[in-house]
C-alpha cells in the first residue's frame, strides 16, 4: 500500500500559502492512491532541538554503548528517520526565509542526516526509492533562467541535502510572488489557484 509523509514548516497557519498548496497535494494524492496511508509531520508542533554534544557523541557511538543522554538526544531523530524511511512519497511544504530554508526546517534536516543511519561513512545515501515533492512559497519570484534565479539558495540546498541521504527523485514547485498577497494586491485564493495545477500534477 502506498504511503505519503506530509511535512509542514510554515508558522502562518491559515495564512500560509505553502500549507494551502500542500493540503491540495495531500487531497489529490489520496484520490489517486486509494487506500494509501498519510502521515502528517508538522514541524511547528514538534520539539526540534538543535544538534548538541550528546547528539554528536551518540551519532558516532555504536547504539549499544549509548549513554542515557545520547539516547535522549537521538530520540526525536529516530522517530523522524523512521517516518521518512516508511514513506514512498514525501511532500514538503516550506517557505523561503532570507533566501534559504527556515531555521525550523534546517533543525529537522540536522536531525535526519545521520551517519550509518541515513548515509554511510563512504557518503552513500541510505534512504532510497522515494519521491520528494517540495512546495516552496516565497515572497519574490525566482523563475529558473531569470535574473533573480541565483538568489534562491533554498532549492539547490534542499536538492543537495536530500540527494545526499539518497532521495534523488525531487520535484520542486516554486510558488513565487506571495508578496503580492501580503501587500493586498492579490487574494490568497487567486494566488493558490495559479499554482494548484502544478501541485495536483505532482501528486499523481
Ligand atoms: C522572516 C522572513 C524572511 C523572508 N525572507 C524571504 C526571502 O528571502 N525571499 C523571499 O522571496 N521571501 C521571503 N519571505 C517571504 C516568505 O517566503 C513568504 O511570505 C512565503 O509565502 C511564506 O510561506 P507561507 O506562506 O507558507 O508561510 C520571508 C518571510 C519572512 C517572515
pLDDT, tens digit (0-9, with 9 covering 90-100), for 86-105: 999 999 999 999 999 999 99
Check residue 58 and give its pLDDT: 98
What is the C-alpha separation between 142 and 84, in angstroms, rounded?
28
What is the C-alpha separation between 93 and 20, in angstroms, rounded?
9
- With cell 551519532, the residue in question is 59
- Measured torsion, CA atoms of residues 185, 104, 19, 130, in degrees rounded to the nearest 10: 130
Check residue 80 and give its pLDDT: 98
What residue ranges line ligand 1, CB within 6 angstroms?
10, 12, 16-19, 95-99, 137-140, 178, 182
| CA 151 / ligand 1 centre spacing (Å) | 13
C-alpha cell at 196: 494548484
Q: Is 98 annotated as a binding residue?
A: yes
What is the C-alpha separation between 20 and 196, in angstroms, rounded?
9
Check residue 164 and give its pLDDT: 98
| CA 84 / ligand 1 centre spacing (Å) | 26
Is the pLDDT at 151 greater than 90? The verdict is: yes
Q: Is 99 annotated as a binding residue?
A: yes
Calculate mean pLDDT across residues 161-177: 98
> What is the share, in percent, of the chain residues with pLDDT greater than 90?
100
Is the pLDDT at 1 greater than 90? The verdict is: no
**C-alpha count within 13 angstroms, C-beta hemisphere, residue 52:** 11
Residue nearest (by alpha carbon) to ligand 1 atom 24: 16
pLDDT digits (tens, 9 = 90+) for 62-81: 999 999 999 999 999 999 99
Q: Is 90 annotated as a binding residue?
A: no
Mean pLDDT taken over the chain: 97
CB within 8 A of 42, min separation 6: which ones?
7, 8
Q: Is 18 annotated as a binding residue?
A: yes
Q: Tell me if the domain spanning 3-202 has CATH number 3.30.565.10.
A: no
Is the pLDDT at 60 greater than 90? The verdict is: yes
- With cell 495531500, the residue in question is 26
Q: Which of 20, 103, 149, 178 to mutate to test the pocket of ligand 1 (most atoms within 8 A of CB)?
A: 178
Amino acid at each position: 500500500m502506498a504511503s505519503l509523509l506530509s511535512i509542514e514548516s510554515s508558522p502562518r497557519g491559515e495564512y500560509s500559502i505553502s500549507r494551502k498548496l500542500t493540503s491540495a497535494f495531500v487531497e489529490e494524492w489520496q484520490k489517486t492512491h486509494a487506500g494509501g496511508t498519510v502521515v502528517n509531520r508538522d514541524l511547528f508542533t514538534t520539539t526540534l532541538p538543535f544538534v548538541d554534544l550528546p547528539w554528536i557523541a551518540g551519532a558516532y557511538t555504536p547504539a549499544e554503548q549509548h549513554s542515557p543522554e545520547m539516547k535522549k538526544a537521538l530520540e526525536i531523530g529516530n522517530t523522524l528517520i523512521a517516518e521518512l524511511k516508511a514513506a514512498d512519497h514525501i511532500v514538503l511544504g516550506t517557505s523561503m526565509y532570507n533566501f534559504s530554508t527556515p531555521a525550523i526546517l534546517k533543525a529537522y534536516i540536522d536531525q535526519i542526516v545521520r551517519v550509518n543511519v541515513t548515509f554511510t561513512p563512504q557518503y552513500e545515501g541510505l534512504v532510497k526509492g522515494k519521491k520528494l515533492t517540495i512546495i516552496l512559497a516565497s515572497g519574490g519570484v525566482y523563475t529558473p533562467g531569470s535574473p533573480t534565479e541565483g538568489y534562491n539558495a533554498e532549492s539547490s540546498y534542499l536538492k543537495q541535502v536530500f540527494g545526499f541521504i539518497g532521495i534523488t527523485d525531487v520535484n520542486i514547485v516554486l510558488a513565487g510572488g506571495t508578496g503580492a498577497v501580503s501587500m493586498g494586491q492579490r487574494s490568497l485564493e487567486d494566488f493558490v489557484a495559479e499554482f494548484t495545477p502544478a501541485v495536483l500534477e505532482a501528486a499523481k
